[in-house]
Amino acid sequence: MADPSDIDEEFIEWDTIADCGQDVDEVEVIDVEIEEINDGHHMAQIHTQFKHQFEALYAVSMTIIEAIALVTQRAEPIPYHTSILSGEGWILELLNGHPEWICTELGIHKHVFKMLVDKLQCHQFNHSKHVTLQEQLGIFLYTVVTGLSIRHIGEHFQQSNSTISK
């Protein structure tokens, strides 16, 4: 790109459309004279104005970046699942509680729940790394009975959304 100070022409013709609601036939051609383009003093003023604008934009950008960094920065992660009762604990409470409670929450009686766990084990289903087979079955049944979202089921069983969706 050529340096503006290298331009030798006394003026540059620019086509400008003055649209102010007029028809396209009424386009005006305006000759814009640029006589001071080679004037060193004028170029220094333009350079100084540009430099100040750039410095201001840079300062604002850096302030925004620092603010975002401060907002997103945390010394320690905050635990999300902090309930005293885990999903496994809730399943055990259902199994050891009132006989109708498990039916209300999971839609089946205690003896059917135990039979399903046994059948799943016979078909090579086992505990996962972090979730027992009983809790897995409980998650499935509770989801079917309540129709809640993965996020709500995860909160109830104190598990991540990815664990619930498996």
For 131, residues 6+ apart whose C-beta sits below 8 A from its C-beta are 87, 88, 139, 159, 163
Across all residues in the chain, what is the average pLDDT?
A: 77
What is the per-residue pLDDT across 104-159, written as a single tens digit (0 to 9) for each? 999 999 999 999 999 999 999 988 888 999 999 999 999 999 998 999 988 888 88
What is the per-residue pLDDT across 24-35, written as a single tens digit (0 to 9) for each? 444 444 444 444
pLDDT of residue 78: 73
